[in-house]
């Protein structure tokens, strides 16, 4: 039985290490402390902690204490030499005689280090072996249960530290990828805005001269049809360019207390003809007593027109578009849903929908949803989509009802 002071030492060491696991993001710092403390507390000769490199399948030395450089220069050990089912199932394994045990890879080197016995502690996390903590002893000894408990606890803390480091690494990789993507998009946006700006003026010239020429030619003359096409297509280009400039400008919303139902009604009025021609039925279900929100009515109207036009395009002929408004469960957000019975979105397109220039339409610029997404985000809201191919799509706008600056709720008068 270890003395009371030894147990206190175990306890304090464990507390120090578990504190560091929680507070430090540097896994090396934790593992260095583990190998040092475990060697001292167990009166061992040395300790070595290897971590499994998921790419190479090798156990690479990650922290060591008390081993010579010659031993450490032996490098990694392959997975097949270390991992046996026994290692995954047991919290510790004692190798009583290093010279005759087949699990020992570098026997000669261990002899040179003066080691005769080993305590192995597999670092298992979520059923996977993440590494191995190996403690080396000069003389053979019989372990006390408290000593084993202490070593196993430190191995568990090491597994937590490794797992935490992996999570941080994964998050960092994801963040880097996202940052690269955002940077690419904003560079593309800047470039597109530059081009749009340059094209805008010559286009205005083409439109001006073709319109004045069209007025001068006879209605049944040979040039009339061609000029009309020039005017129509130039106007289309102008709309695309304006959308592009709008997207790149990323205007700050001019927020005022607004009646969202009136904004929706105005957007619907502008598209009534389009809906009638396509025999699309429009259902509106408005939440009674909807709280007022601070928003830029013009920008929100633009979002709704984009969503309604997309819905109409997805339906083509005959179908239903439903617009619903409601408050979220906590009463802090306004939710607007635009649902259609159209063709729906292919699953592989779902995460591209809000990217600028993504379009499946022959004449689509792919800016409608990108602009809408930006506007909703500038309102501290969210624009999301749910869809099943063949069954239609539902776009949801969520907007906060509370203005952060004023911290006040607005109610319908
Ligand atoms: N309601 C919907 N149902 C099915 N697909 C949709 C719907 N809304 C958008 N999409 C898909 O998302 C793509 C991008 O839409 P977005 O509005 O950004 O561009 P667009 O409509 O193609 O062109 P435009 O810039 O003229 O609006 C569309 O081409 C279409 O494939
Ligand atoms: Mg569109």
The one-digit pLDDT tens for each residue of the chain (413 residues) are: 667 888 888 989 899 988 888 887 788 888 999 999 999 999 999 999 998 887 888 888 899 999 998 888 877 777 666 655 666 678 899 999 888 887 787 888 889 899 999 999 998 877 778 889 999 999 999 999 999 999 999 898 888 888 888 888 888 888 777 777 667 766 777 777 778 878 888 999 999 999 999 999 988 888 899 999 999 999 988 888 887 777 666 667 888 888 999 999 999 988 888 899 899 999 999 999 888 888 999 889 989 999 999 999 999 889 999 999 999 888 889 999 999 999 999 999 998 899 888 899 987 878 889 889 988 988 999 999 999 999 999 999 999 985 444 443 333 32
Whether 58 and 186 map to the same domain: the answer is no
Whether 232 and 324 map to the same domain: the answer is no
Whether 364 and 230 map to the same domain: the answer is no
What does the alpha-carbon distance between residue 262 and residue 258 come to, in Å, rounded to a whole number? 8
Whether 163 and 19 map to the same domain: the answer is yes
Q: Is residue 405 part of a domain?
A: no
Which of the listed residues 169, 200, 234 is the one where a domain comes to its end? 169
Full residue range of the structural domain in which residue 115 is found: 4-169
How many angstroms is it from 148 CA to the middle of ligand 2?
66
DSSP 347: G
Q: Is residue 243 part of a domain?
A: yes
CB atoms closer than 10 angstroms to residue 318: 10
Whether 26 and 158 map to the same domain: the answer is yes
Whether 266 and 337 map to the same domain: the answer is yes
Domain count, the chain: 3
Whether 42 and 118 map to the same domain: the answer is yes
Q: Is residue 134 part of a domain?
A: yes
- What is the CATH classification number for the domain harbouring 15? 3.30.450.40
Instruction: Confirm whether pTM is higher than 0.75.
Output: no
How far, CA to CA in Å, does 242 sit from each of 62, 258, 299, 372?
A: 57, 26, 14, 14
How many angstroms is it from 237 CA to the middle of ligand 1?
18
How many angstroms is it from 314 CA to the middle of ligand 2?
10
Residues in the chain: 413
Whether 66 and 112 map to the same domain: the answer is yes
Nearest CA to ligand 1 atom 17: 368
Report the pocket of ligand 1 as residue ranges, CB < 6 Å.
306, 310-311, 314, 340, 342-345, 353, 358-361, 364-370, 393
Of the ligands numbered here, which is closest to the C-alpha atom of 360?
1
Which of the listed residues 229, 249, 269 is the one where a domain comes to its end? 249
Q: Is residue 412 part of a domain?
A: no
Structure tokens at 114: 């003066």
């Amino acid at each position: 039985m270890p003395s009371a002071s030894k147990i206190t030492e175990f306890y304090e060491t464990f507390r120090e290490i578990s504190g560091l696991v929680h507070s430090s993001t540097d896994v090396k710092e934790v593992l260095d402390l583990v190998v040092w403390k475990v060697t001292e507390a167990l009166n061992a000769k040395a300790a070595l902690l290897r971590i499994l490199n998921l790419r190479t399948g090798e156990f690479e030395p990650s922290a060591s204490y008390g081993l010579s450089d010659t031993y450490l220069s032996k490098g990694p050990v392959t997975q097949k030499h270390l991992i046996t089912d026994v290692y995954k199932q047991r919290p510790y394994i004692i190798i009583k005689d290093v010279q005759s045990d087949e699990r020992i890879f570098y026997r000669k080197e261990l002899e040179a280090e003066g080691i005769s016995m080993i305590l192995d502690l597999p670092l298992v996390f979520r059923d996977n072996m993440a590494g191995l903590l190996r403690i080396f002893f000069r003389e053979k000894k019989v372990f006390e249960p408290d000593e084993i408990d202490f070593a196993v606890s430190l191995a568990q803390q090491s597994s937590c530290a490794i797992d935490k480091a992996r999570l941080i690494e994964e998050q960092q990789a994801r963040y880097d990828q996202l940052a690269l993507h955002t940077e690419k998009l904003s560079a593309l946006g800047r470039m597109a805005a530059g081009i749009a700006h340059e094209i805008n003026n010559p286009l205005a010239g083409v439109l001006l001269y073709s319109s004045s020429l069209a007025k001068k030619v006879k209605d049944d003359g040979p040039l009339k049809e061609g000029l009309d096409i020039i005017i129509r297509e130039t106007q289309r280009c102008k709309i695309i360019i304006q959308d592009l400039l709008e997207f790149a400008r990323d205007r700050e919303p001019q927020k005022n207390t607004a009646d969202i139902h009136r904004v929706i009604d105005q957007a619907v009025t502008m598209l009534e003809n389009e809906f009638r021609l396509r025999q699309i039925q429009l259902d509106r279900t408005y939440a009674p007593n909807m709280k007022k929100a601070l928003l830029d009515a013009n920008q929100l109207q633009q979002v709704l027109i984009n969503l309604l036009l997309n819905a109409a395009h997805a339906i083509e002929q005959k179908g239903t578009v439903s617009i619903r408004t409601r408050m979220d469960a906590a009463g802090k957000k306004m939710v607007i849903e635009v649902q259609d019975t159209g063709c729906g979105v292919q699953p592989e397109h779902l995460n591209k929908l809000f990217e600028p220039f993504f379009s499946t339409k022959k004449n689509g610029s792919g800016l409608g949803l990108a602009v809408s997404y930006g506007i909703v985000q500038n309102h501290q809201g969210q624009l999301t989509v749910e869809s099943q191919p063949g069954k239609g799509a539902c776009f949801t706008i969520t907007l906060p009802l509370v203005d952060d600056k004023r911290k006040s709720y607005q109610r319908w008068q």
